């Protein structure tokens, strides 16, 4: 009996080992095929899977490019959440696409690891006036070299409900312009039921820790600070940073809190956005979210206005170059890849792209385009383009940002004082930069 029992135990142990190891070792491989050998199609990965973008790219852009250049193009739309995973496995497996999109934040990392090529030689062949027209070009440079071609710009602006302003005795024509204005307006607009906030005076991007770090970014820039200096040394824990984070945290913490919704998904929420449902009177939102509100709740959107960037010492807000395209260093058809990028950035395509996706067009000449100027979810962002500031172009920025983001979340949830959190995040980020 004892022998049988041991035998059964060993058999069971063996089964557990195989099952558990299979789970641990399980994993998919990303992509297939090579980078192109002349016969295979030009492979392009776009970040995100916005229906309008997918439709425009597949039905208009790609057929037009294929007809003009006699090249087959295979486009894949990769969900933002999986983009880094897919790209890193594709790099490791030698299956990276010829052209791939990403946010500007990743540019320095890909450049440092020679995953994306410098595009300066190609840019030099473009007419000077054309190059000058590309609004966000400088933000795609790493160590003076053009690594990413931004397709559009983005930004965070304060949106407010004019009807709720009127109810609270505020002037909808005079939105908050300073931190003090913002706090005063939020105090007037908040609605409480006992100790519970039933309508937030104002909410900020807070879907996840990364969004929270971007909300902090706006206040950091407004306070005269920055994430890092020109050498890449972290400066977010400066006096300006501490003041900015403490100010932001006061909206969520303490008896005078006026904001709720930490961790709630509001990005691209459209008709479900708290500004639409009435759970918030003001909200800092990006252009893509404002576009979804216009599309899904036009009646409420008509009551929402946008304020220019707030000012403490500087009028600024988080934003700048949004997603752009890289050309893979492993691509065997870099010239064709460039032609695709250049084609997408032609004025007519650059315009159609922001009409589909939203945001600020990649070309300055489109700022006066009557069709774009008529779009209430594009014009205010175009007007504020010069005041949007983004991430520093340092190689480990995405990892450093995660270190900052988790500390920002702890502060906003009232777990850690602002100064301590920023110092801790800075120490971790410096360590990441050294490794």
Partner 1 sequence: MVTKTRPPGTSPRPHPVTPRRPGRSPLRSAQRRAGWILVLPAVLALALVTIVPIGYGFYLSLTSYNPVERGGPTFHGLNGYLAVLRSGEFWHAIWITVQYASGTLILAVPGALALALLVNGRFPGVALFRAVLYLPRVVPLVAVSMIWLWLYSHDGLFNYLLDLVGLPPVGFLTDEDTALLSLIAMRAWKALGGSMIIFLAGLQAVPASLLEAASVDGCGRWRTLRHVILPLLVPITTYVVVVDLIYLAQSFSEIYVLTSGGPLSSTTVLNMLIYNEAFEHYRLGNASAMAFLLFCLIFGLAYLSIRTMARGGRR
Per CB under 8 A, the segment of 46-54, 159-167, 292-300, 401-409 that binds partner 1 is 401-409
Taking CA atoms, 390 is separated from 8, 38, 192, 207, 339, in Å, by 61, 38, 35, 19, 27
Instruction: State how far the Cα of 343 lies from the Cα of 126, in Å rounded to an integer.
Output: 12
Closer Cβ to partner 1, 277 or 313, answer by number: 277
Q: How many CA atoms lie within 13 A of 19 on its CB side?
A: 6
Residues touching partner 1: how many (CB under 8 A)? 48
Binds partner 1 by CB under 8 A, chosen from 46, 56, 110, 236: 110
Greatest extent of the chain over all pairs of C-alpha atoms, in Å:
89
In angstroms, give the least distance from the CB of 124 to partner 1: 26
Q: Is 414 in the site for partner 1 (CB under 8 A)?
A: no
The 8-class DSSP code of residue 61 comes to I
Tell whether residue 431 is a contact of partner 1 (CB under 8 A): no
Q: Does 35 bind partner 1 (CB under 8 A)?
A: no
352: its two tokens: 């159609």
Residue 47 near residue 102, CB atoms below 8 Å:
yes
Kindly write down the DSSP assignment for every residue of 191-246, as one continuous string: EEETTEEEEBS-B---SSHHHHHHHHHHHHHHTT--SB-TT--B-TTSHHHHHHHH
Q: How many helices (H) and strands (E) does the chain have?
A: 20, 15
Residue span binding partner 1 (CB under 8 A) among the ranges 149-157, 259-267, 313-321, 356-364:
259-267
Q: Which stretch binds partner 1 (CB under 8 A): 2-10, 142-150, 285-293, 336-344?
A: 2-10
Q: Which of 37, 39, 67, 114 binds partner 1 (CB under 8 A)?
A: 114
305 binds partner 1 (CB under 8 A): no
Report which secondary-structure segment, H or E, holds 310.
Answer: none
| Contact call for residue 433 and partner 1 (CB under 8 A) | no
β 282-286/152-161 pair status = antiparallel
Q: What's the CA gap between 199 and 246, in Å, rounded?
A: 22
CA 323 to chain CA centroid, nearest Å: 8
Question: Which residues neighbour 60 within 8 Å (Cβ) at sequence distance 6 or greater?
Answer: 352
Residue of 113, 180, 256, 313 interacting with partner 1 (CB under 8 A): 113
Residue linked to tokens 């299979």: 22
224 to 253: interface string for partner 1, x by CB under 8 A: ------------------------------
Among 321, 325, 402, 426, binds partner 1 (CB under 8 A): 402
Phi–psi pair at 176, nearest 5 degrees: -55, 135
**Residue 383 makes contact with partner 1 by CB under 8 A:** no
Residue 40 or 272 having the CB closest to partner 1:
272
Query: Given candidates 3, 26, 37, 67, which one binds partner 1 under the rule CB under 8 A?
Result: 26
State which of residues 137, 262, 304, 350 lies at the interface with partner 1 (CB under 8 A): 262
Q: Give the residue with the Cβ less far from partner 1, 276 or 426.
A: 276
The interface with partner 1 within residues 90-109 (CB under 8 A) comprises 91-92, 109
Of 12, 131, 427, 431, the one binding partner 1 by CB under 8 A: 12
What's the rounded Cα separation, in Å, for the pair 315 and 308? Answer: 8
Sequence-separated (6 or more) residues with CB below 8 Å from residue 7: none
CA distance 308 to 292: 20
In angstroms, what is the minimal distance from the CB of 260 to partner 1?
8
- Select the residue interacting with partner 1 from 123, 413, 420, 423 (CB under 8 A): 413
Contact indicator for 201, 281 with CB cutoff of 8 Å: yes
The answer to whether 178 contacts partner 1 (rule: CB under 8 A) is no
Tell me the C-alpha to C-alpha distance, in Å, between residue 170 and each of 48, 140, 167, 187, 202.
38, 41, 7, 11, 14
Kindly identify the residues of this chain, within the stretch 179-208, that bind partner 1 according to CB under 8 A.
193, 196, 208
What mask of x and - would describe binding to partner 1 in positions 43 to 62, judged by CB under 8 A?
--------------------
Q: In the complex with partner 1, which residue's Cβ is closer, 114 or 129?
A: 114
Of 21 and 386, the one with the shorter C-beta distance to partner 1 is: 21
- Quick one: 273 or 351, whose CB is closer to partner 1? 273
Q: Is 355 in the site for partner 1 (CB under 8 A)?
A: no
CA distance 94 to 161: 50
Please tell me whether residue 256 binds partner 1 under the rule CB under 8 A: no
Beta-carbon contacts of residue 8 (< 8 Å; ≥ 6 apart)? none
Interface with partner 1, residue 209, by CB under 8 A:
yes
Given phi > 0 = left and psi -120 to 50 = alpha, else beta, which region is 42?
beta
Q: Which residues form the interface with partner 1 (CB under 8 A)? A: 5, 8-9, 12-13, 16-17, 19-27, 84-85, 87-89, 91-92, 109-110, 113-115, 193, 196, 208-209, 261-265, 272, 277, 279, 398-399, 402, 406, 409-410, 413, 415
């Amino acid at each position: 009996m004892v022998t049988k029992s041991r035998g059964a135990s060993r058999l069971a142990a063996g089964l557990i080992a195989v099952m558990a190891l299979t789970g641990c070792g399980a994993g998919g491989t990303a992509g297939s095929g090579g980078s192109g050998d002349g016969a295979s199609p030009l492979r392009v990965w776009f970040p995100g899977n916005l229906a309008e973008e997918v439709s425009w790219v597949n039905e208009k852009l790609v057929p037009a490019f294929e007809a003009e250049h006699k090249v087959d193009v295979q486009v894949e739309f990769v969900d933002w959440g999986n983009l880094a995973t897919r790209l890193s496995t594709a790099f490791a497996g030698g299956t990276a696409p010829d052209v791939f999109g990403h946010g500007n934040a990743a540019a320095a990392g890909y450049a440092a690891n020679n995953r994306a090529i410098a595009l300066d030689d190609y840019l030099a062949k473009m007419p000077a006036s054309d190059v000058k027209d590309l609004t966000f070009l400088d933000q795609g440079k790493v160590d003076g070299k053009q690594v990413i071609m931004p397709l559009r710009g983005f930004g965070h602006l304060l949106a407010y409900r004019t009807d709720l302003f009127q109810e609270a005795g505020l002037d909808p024509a005079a939105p908050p312009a300073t931190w003090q204005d913002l706090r005063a307006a939020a105090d007037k607009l908040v609605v409480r039921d006992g100790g519970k906030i039933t309508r937030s005076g104002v909410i900020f991007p807070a879907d996840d820790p990364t969004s929270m770090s971007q909300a902090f970014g706006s206040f950091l820039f407004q306070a005269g600070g920055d994430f890092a200096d020109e050498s890449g040394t972290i400066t977010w824990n400066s006096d300006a940073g501490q003041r900015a984070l403490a100010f932001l945290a006061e909206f969520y913490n303490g008896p005078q809190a006026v904001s709720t919704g930490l961790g709630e998904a509001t990005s691209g929420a459209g008709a479900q956005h708290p500004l639409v449902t009435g759970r918030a009177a003001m909200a800092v939102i990006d252009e893509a979210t404002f576009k979804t509100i216009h599309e899904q709740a036009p009646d409420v959107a008509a009551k929402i206005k946008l304020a220019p960037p707030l000012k403490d010492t500087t009028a600024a807000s988080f934003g700048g170059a949004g997603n752009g395209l890289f050309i893979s260093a492993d691509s065997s058809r870099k010239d064709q890849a460039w032609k695709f990028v250049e084609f997408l950035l032609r004025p007519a395509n650059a315009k159609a792209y922001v009409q589909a996706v939203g945001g600020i067009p990649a070309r300055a000449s489109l700022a006066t385009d009557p069709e774009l100027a008529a779009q209430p979810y594009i014009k205010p962002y175009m007007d504020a383009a010069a005041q949007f500031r983004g991430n520093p172009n340092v190689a480990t920025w995405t990892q450093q940002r995660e270190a900052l983001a988790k500390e920002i979340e702890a502060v906003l949830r009232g777990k850690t004082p602002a100064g301590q959190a920023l110092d801790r995040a800075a120490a971790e980020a410096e360590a990441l930069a050294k490794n």
